[in-house]
Structure 1
Amino acid sequence: MIRKSKITGRILAIIMTVALVSASVSGCGRSDKKKDKDAYRQYGINCIENGNYDDAIEAFQKALDLEVGNVGDEEIDICFYKAKAQYLSGDIDGAIESYTAIIDYNGNADAYYLRGCQYFAQNDQDKGMDDFKKAIDKNNKNYELYIGIYETLSKYGMADQGNEYLADALKIKGDKPDDYMQKGRIYTIQGDYESAIDNLQKAIDGKLVKANYYMGEAYSKQGDGDNASKYYQAYLDSGEADAYDLFNMGQSQMEQGNYATAITYFDAALDLDEVPNKQELMKNEIIAYEYSGDFASAKECMEDYIEEYPDDSDAEREYQFLETR
């Protein structure tokens, strides 16, 4: 049965300083301000998921306006969302300004990395590379930073420089399950599947459930669909898979022609409470149904998609095609 998934979720956070906040709401008790702030935050998140980025920015700003001068974890979290919405709206200059503000505020490594990504989007590679270097200087034990930098550099045709970051990440000392998992990820990116599987098995033996996902990825890239499905299923059964993981798992199954299994993963993702990549999941579920020959289900999914995203003209044309099937 096809069903509409929940409109909630969380987008990758981006930090900015509360110094950018312009005004506050007066005459409001502390408890009421907290409720209003949480309501604005949740509304902004919902707007991001539905592609209403300007509304999201406004909602997050209203949330911040309630706490002028107070910088806490919740305010930083809201600033993460606001800056992400700025970027998604196409306001790269605004996003850069936000990153710069938080860098001036506390020199956060993530802010340097994310600002660097924006500089690359503006074809300013020198500033981007400088920010990546500063991000690593601030937090040189963070595997995610190294991998993120590699992925960004590869996207802009600088894979050789990106590989230097991966090589540096492999030099991080550590023998915890997460160290093995992260190094397994890196070896997979490098195409050294033997080393990847060896490290990922150590992470799995250390009871790190997420390593099953990356083990499935390693086997998938080798073309070993059976083992990939085995580890993906183990991760799915754990209940820890998030919407992005399930999307990638579904994509992997699509590439192998396992459309029914792919649909299972897409459905599982859409049933989660937090689905920040809802639009992409719905699109790919429609494609999976089409490839499987189940045009009736594809059409039903498309009807839900068009209701959710009415401005997608390509979807309208695809729906017209499905009506003829």
Structure 2
Amino acid sequence: MSRGIKRFLAGTGVFCILLISGCGRSQEEKQLRLAGIEQLDQGNYEEAIVSFEQALKAADGKVGNMELDILKYRGEAEYKSGDFLAAAHTYDVLIQVDGQLPEYLYGRSICYAGAGQLEEAGADYTQARNMDVQMDREVSWNMEALLALGKGYQAAGENQKAADLYDSAIAGGAIASAEMYNVLGAAQIEAGMYDKALQLLDQGIALGDQAAMGDLMYNKAVALEYSGEFSRALDLFLQYKASYGSDEKLEKEIAFLSTR
């Protein structure tokens, strides 16, 4: 899972159930937790998992803020190590001790998607999404879970399911930023669904967010190129160059399209 959402995976969060207060934890547990975080940040995922396991053992069966935090870190380390089902099991434990919070269901959905268990991933995603709505709060529809499930469908050749999923998210207000339209548009390019990619990228461009505009323009040009609209793609790449500068990759694109 991306480090960009680390607060979701490894932050303290707001917990519905605390079996025992997190105060007064042993120094051993705290030190092992910190060691695991450092190993995780360094990419030593297996070592991090061991440290988090030892930290939980040092808790001697107690479950409170710190232990929930350690479990979330362990889930992240397991996911990044490629052991998706172990990470899903860690979310099982979190759900058992802390309740069916949407963030846990989204997290488990991501893990199931990584493991190719798309039915389970879809069920968790849908339940979390519905809980967001029922709680009458701003619908988070965690973007990483949305993308993980959509890419899982695409990897399985179920492109229509991915498209329907994204359409549902857009219709429900899940995508509120130009950056997210760009991410979904890029995912559709990877799936070879260029018309859908162009639709999403145009929706992002229409928001007028200058911080995301460069990426949206570049990806739109790529989608146009892949769909065979070479003249339009060249024009857009030249506009991009005029606004954002050039590099070797862009010059190669321009040179290629100039000969079409």
Query: Structure 2-normalised TM-score?
Result: 0.61
- SS of residue matched to 2:68: coil
Cα displacement string for residues 164-192 of structure 1 (whole angstroms, at most 9, x for unaligned residues): 44432332122234433332222111221
Superposed counterparts of 1:163-202, under 5 Å = 164-173=86-95, 174-202=99-127
Distance 2:207 2:72 in 1: 24
The residue type equivalent to 1:264 in the other structure is Q
Equivalent residue, structure 2, for 1:119: 42
**Residue 204 (structure 1) aligned with residue 137 (structure 2):** no
Equivalent residue, structure 1, for 2:163: 229
What is the Cα deviation at residue 270 of structure 1? 4.1
Superposed counterparts of 1:121-270, under 5 Å = 125=44, 129=48, 133=52, 138=66, 140-141=68-69, 145=73, 148-150=76-78, 152-153=80-81, 159-160=82-83, 164-173=86-95, 174-206=99-131, 207=133, 210=141, 213=146, 216-241=150-175, 242-243=177-178, 245-270=180-205
Cα displacement string for residues 133-179 of structure 1 (whole angstroms, at most 9, x for unaligned residues): 49x975735887556534543xxxxx24x754443233212223443
Distance 1:126 1:142 in 2: 14
What is the Cα deviation at residue 294 of structure 1? 0.9
Equivalent residue, structure 2, for 1:288: 223
What is the Cα deviation at residue 269 of structure 1? 3.3
For the structure 1 residues 299 and 144, does the alpha-carbon distance in structure 2 shift closer, same or farther, using more than 3 Å as the test? farther
For the structure 1 residues 12 and 275, does the alpha-carbon distance in structure 2 shift closer, same or farther, using more than 3 Å as the test? farther
For the structure 1 residues 252 and 310, does the alpha-carbon distance in structure 2 shift closer, same or farther, using more than 3 Å as the test? closer
- Structure 1 unaligned segments of length 5 or more: list them: 1-10, 16-106, 154-158
The residue type equivalent to 2:89 in the other structure is A
Distance 2:71 2:153 in 1: 21
Query: Structure 1-normalised TM-score?
Result: 0.51
For the structure 1 residues 117 and 183, does the alpha-carbon distance in structure 2 shift closer, same or farther, using more than 3 Å as the test? closer
Number of matched pairs: 211
The residue type equivalent to 1:234 in the other structure is S
Distance 2:146 2:89 in 1: 22
Distance 2:6 2:102 in 1: 27
Cα displacement string for residues 106-137 of structure 1 (whole angstroms, at most 9, x for unaligned residues): x9x99x85x656533xxxx3897389849x97
Question: Is the CA contact 2:49–2:74 (under 8 Å) kept in the aligned structure 1?
Answer: no
Structure having greater relative contact order (Cα 8 Å, sep ≥ 6): 1
Distance 1:14 1:203 in 2: 19
RMSD: 4.2
- SS of residue matched to 2:106: helix
Equivalent residue, structure 2, for 1:324: 259
Cα displacement string for residues 236-279 of structure 1 (whole angstroms, at most 9, x for unaligned residues): 22333245543442233224422011122223334446676665
The residue type equivalent to 1:202 in the other structure is Q
- SS of residue matched to 1:240: coil
Equivalent residue, structure 1, for 2:15: none
Distance 2:188 2:89 in 1: 30
Question: Is the CA contact 2:105–2:124 (under 8 Å) kept in the aligned structure 1?
Answer: yes
The residue type equivalent to 2:256 in the other structure is F
Question: Is the CA contact 1:220–1:228 (under 8 Å) kept in the aligned structure 2?
Answer: yes
Cα displacement string for residues 198-234 of structure 1 (whole angstroms, at most 9, x for unaligned residues): 2223223332561693554453343222222112012
The residue type equivalent to 1:182 in the other structure is G
Distance 1:151 1:273 in 2: 36
The residue type equivalent to 1:129 in the other structure is A
For the structure 1 residues 146 and 262, does the alpha-carbon distance in structure 2 shift closer, same or farther, using more than 3 Å as the test? farther
Distance 1:132 1:247 in 2: 37
- SS of residue matched to 2:42: helix
